[in-house]
Structure 1
């Protein structure tokens, strides 16, 4: 089960390297909303923070032989998030970051991992809402933390900007 557990981290790394390489240039497209715009440092920070969660899930999965609810929820979330990449590209009618590795890495790894868990007789834990909520928040919270320096600069600029004389 260690191959499945650490495979999750490896698959995530391959997938997120594509995102890191393409997100900054993608986000500069003029027709995208401003909240999508992400600098290379913001993307790297958000990806790194999410990576901490994925590494923790993989470590727990390896230690428990894949039985951990946290690991299984992370594996499920990784597989299901493929749908967001496909949906984004369909809606925008173009490439979006992560689209190439979604059918080449994310989906095949996820299917393989669940089959391996079942073949090895690992009980599949029922979904735990606490993990689902926490894991669903990891990516948006990571992006929010990554954008704190930008927000701080805007607040400082706003506070120290030109003032009207009285």
Structure 2
């Protein structure tokens, strides 16, 4: 199993989330700081999954679940844009990076004789993880503008 298919998960995620970082604040009405904290926290999870995949030659259930979640995430972006009939953060890189990388990496897993082995319980926890990173971002960035204002006055 190639490292490109395991560690590449983080690289593909990074490209995708740079689009989200650039567009989420204006689109979702959150601060750039909030978006950066939430994306950074999720990046830690994705990096850990990619490293787990690399260490186990793709056999890590954590990695395989993260890969399946990444693929699903890309489809959710496409569906969100279809429903809103417009741009949603991440929709450009979903068909160009997220979905193709996910499909390619899953093909590499199959070629290496590794079963999909997605943890459905892990996928079900994805909304909890998203809530946790955004909730933490709220707590971390609460009062950011007030702190900044007090430093500049």
Band of TM-score, shorter chain = 0.7 to 0.9
Check whether the contact 1:42–1:147 (CA below 8 A) recurs between aligned residues: yes
Q: How does 1:37-52 map to 2 (within 5 A)?
A: 37-52=29-44
The 8 Å contact of residues 7 and 54 in structure 2, kept in 1 or not, is answered as: yes
Deviation at 1:128, TM superposition (A): 4.6
Q: Tell me whether 1:137 sits opposite 2:128 in the alignment.
A: yes
Tell me if structure 2 keeps the 8 A contact 1:6–1:58.
Answer: yes
Structure 1 Cα separation of the partners of residues 130 and 45 of structure 2: 10
1:1-166 alignment runs, 5 A limit: 1=1, 2-27=3-28, 37-125=29-117, 127-129=119-121, 131-149=122-140, 153=143
SS at match of 1:38: coil
Contact kept, 8 Å, 2:53 with 2:59, in 1: the verdict is yes
Structure 2: stretches of 5+ with no match in the other structure: 144-153
Moved over 3 A (4+): 133-136
Cα separation, 1, equivalents of 2:8 and 2:53: 10
TM-score (norm 1): 0.80
Q: Does the Cα contact within 8 Å between 1:18 and 1:97 map onto a contact in 2?
A: yes
State the distance in 2 between where 1:23 and 1:46 align. Answer: 11
Partner-residue secondary structure (3-state), 1:121: coil
Tell me the C-alpha RMSD between the 2 structures. Answer: 1.5
In 2, Cα distance between equivalents of 1:6 and 1:125: 18
- Gap change, CA 1:127 and 1:18, over 3 Å in 2: same
Give the conservation status (yes or no) of the 8 Å contact 2:42–2:133: yes
Q: What TM-score, normalized by structure 2, do the two folds share?
A: 0.86
Matched positions, count: 142
Instruction: Give the drift of 1:24.
Output: 1.1
Structure whose CA Rg is larger: 1
